[in-house]
């Protein structure tokens, strides 16, 4: 418990006066840096505690030429509205918060609406953060490439592209798509559809991987259904699709949320999952196993992804080199297929 005295202590100058020492002594005592008499240090630390004083981080950072914060940006290039509510992004955000906190960084959250080609450089030049993590490259890979060429501490969660100059961490989406295809084939499904927005590079890769693992006859008949990642939009897309008379026996959804929307729509049409229709999702969000039926899905290791994003970023911040990482997805078979 801190008992607050009459005289407000707002700066190390105030504290120095009370302690009868110079500001630099107070600074040294409170930062535990630099040589200082042990007793002096403890005396000042106790005084600070008694007065409830803490060093002003903003000023400290200005002096040190850093901000102590890392930005996490969610570009909404193609999806408006509830993008941020996607459970996958949310879980990612939670883990990022943990990882960054562990390394002493604040997490500055920002939803950006990419306009023109200067939004990222402009954000960076404002000097609010020491580094930037972008969740999902959206349709902004040109912007990312340009910025990455002159700004090191930048890491992107998303699909790896050999042509991209920027640093990415992500799942091997092609492999994930192939996993889904192989599984549906093993279930005897041949009349297939893919639900997702393929203008998002990650989803496009899932789709390509899906196609690539299919025999020619099945591949040629795959139907591509455009669906945004919100539950509502996915549900609507599936409802329209079924209403138009389509009756596939296997659906690969670009995300778990989309898969749940598809299943909800199928239930309304009395299509039984998995008897008549196998559905497989992507992500393995926590709710996937609670869905009814529990969702078969391609799992991404979010926690590991977050840890890697932060690690690579810190390497770059320390001036070290870092390379893109892509890890293997894993098929989780439950009851929707």
Partner DNA sequence: CTGTTAGCGCCTTCAA
Partner DNA sequence: TTGAAGGCGCTAACAG
Binding site for DNA (CB under 7 A): 10-13, 20-25, 27-28, 30-31, 33-38, 40-41, 55-56, 59-60, 62-65
Return the number of the residue (55 or 333) whose C-beta is nearest a copy of itself: 55
- Which does residue 31 bind out of a copy of itself, DNA, none, counting CB within 5 to 8 angstroms by kind? DNA
Helix (H) or strand (E) holding 307, with range, is helix 302-317
Return the number of the residue (41 or 51) whose C-beta is nearest DNA: 41
Dist CA 330 CA 337 (whole Å): 16
CB of 155 to a copy of itself, least distance (A): 17
Return the number of the residue (24 or 292) whose C-beta is nearest a copy of itself: 292
User: Contact at 8 Å (CB) between 247 and 204?
Assistant: no
CB of 266 to a copy of itself, least distance (A): 9
- Which does residue 1 bind out of a copy of itself, DNA, none, counting CB within 5 to 8 angstroms by kind? a copy of itself
- Which does residue 24 bind out of DNA, a copy of itself, none, counting CB within 5 to 8 angstroms by kind? DNA
CB of 11 to DNA, least distance (A): 3
Return the number of the residue (214 or 288) whose C-beta is nearest a copy of itself: 288
- Which does residue 208 bind out of DNA, a copy of itself, none, counting CB within 5 to 8 angstroms by kind? none
User: Contact at 8 Å (CB) between 136 and 75?
Assistant: yes
Return the number of the residue (126 or 216) whose C-beta is nearest DNA: 126
CB of 133 to DNA, least distance (A): 24
Return the number of the residue (244 or 318) whose C-beta is nearest DNA: 318
Q: Residue ranges of the alpha helices (H) in 103-154?
A: 119-125, 141-148
CB of 209 to a copy of itself, least distance (A): 25
Nearest 10 degrees: Cα torsion 115, 119, 122, 127:
140
Contact set with a copy of itself (CB under 8 A): 1-2, 52-59, 61-62, 67, 69, 72, 82-85, 87, 90-91, 93-94, 97-98, 101, 106-111, 117-118, 121-122, 125-128, 230-232, 234-235, 257, 260-261, 263-264, 267, 286-287, 289-294
Q: What CA–CA distances, in Å, run from 285 to 90, 198, 336?
A: 10, 21, 15
Closest CA to 233 of 262, 193, 192: 262
- Which does residue 294 bind out of DNA, a copy of itself, none, counting CB within 5 to 8 angstroms by kind? a copy of itself
CB of 162 to DNA, least distance (A): 37
18-23 LR contacts (CB < 8 Å, sep 24+): 18/47, 18/51, 19/43, 19/44, 19/47
For 45, other C-beta atoms within 10 Å of its C-beta total 15
Show the tokens assigned to 113.
Answer: 């609406």
Pair type for strands 250-253 and 154-157: unpaired
CB of 16 to a copy of itself, least distance (A): 17
For 80, counting Cβ atoms within 10 Å of its Cβ (0-12 exposed, 13-18 middle, 19+ buried), the class is exposed
User: Contact at 8 Å (CB) between 174 and 322?
Assistant: no
CB of 114 to DNA, least distance (A): 24
Closest CA to 74 of 62, 89, 88, 87: 89
- DSSP classification of residue 218: H
Return the number of the residue (62 or 328) whose C-beta is nearest a copy of itself: 62
- Which does residue 122 bind out of a copy of itself, DNA, none, counting CB within 5 to 8 angstroms by kind? a copy of itself
Backbone angles phi, psi at 174, to 5 degrees: -60, -50
**Sign of the four-CA dihedral 293, 297, 301, 306:** negative
Return the number of the residue (176 or 261) whose C-beta is nearest a copy of itself: 261
């Amino acid at each position: 418990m801190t008992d607050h005295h009459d005289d407000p202590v707002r700066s190390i100058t105030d504290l120095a006066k009370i302690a009868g020492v110079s500001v630099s002594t107070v600074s040294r005592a409170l930062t535990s840096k630099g040589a200082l008499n042990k007793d002096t240090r403890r005396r000042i630390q106790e005084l600070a505690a008694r007065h409830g004083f803490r060093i002003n981080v903003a000023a400290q950072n200005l002096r040190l030429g850093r901000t102590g914060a890392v930005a996490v940006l969610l570009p909404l290039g193609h999806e408006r509205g509830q993008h941020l509510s996607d459970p996958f992004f949310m879980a990612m955000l939670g883990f990022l918060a943990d990882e960054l906190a562990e390394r002493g960084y604040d997490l500055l959250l920002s939803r950006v609406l990419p306009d023109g080609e200067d939004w990222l450089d402009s954000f960076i030049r404002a000097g609010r953060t020491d580094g930037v993590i972008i969740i999902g490259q959206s349709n902004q890979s040109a912007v990312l490439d340009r910025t990455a060429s002159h700004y090191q501490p930048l890491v992107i969660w998303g699909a790896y592209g050999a042509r991209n100059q920027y640093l990415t961490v992500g799942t091997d989406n092609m492999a994930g798509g192939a996993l889904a295809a192989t599984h549906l084939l093993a279930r005897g499904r041949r009349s297939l559809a893919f639900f997702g927005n393929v203008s998002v590079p990650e989803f496009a890769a899932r789709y390509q991987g899906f196609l690539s693992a299919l025999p020619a006859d099945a591949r040629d008949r795959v139907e591509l259904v455009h669906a945004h990642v919100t539950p509502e939009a996915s549900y609507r897309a599936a409802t329209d699709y079924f209403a138009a008379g389509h009756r596939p026996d296997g659906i690969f959804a670009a995300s778990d949320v989309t898969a749940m929307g598809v299943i909800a729509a199928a239930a309304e049409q009395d299509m039984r999952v998995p008897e008549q229709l196998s559905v497989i999702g992507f992500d393995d969000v926590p709710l996937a196993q609670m869905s009814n039926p529990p969702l078969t899905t391609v799992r991404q290791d979010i926690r590991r992804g977050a840890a890697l994003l932060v690690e690579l970023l810190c390497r770059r911040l320390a001036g070290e080199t870092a390379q893109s990482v892509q890890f293997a997805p894993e098929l989780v078979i439950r009851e929707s297929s």
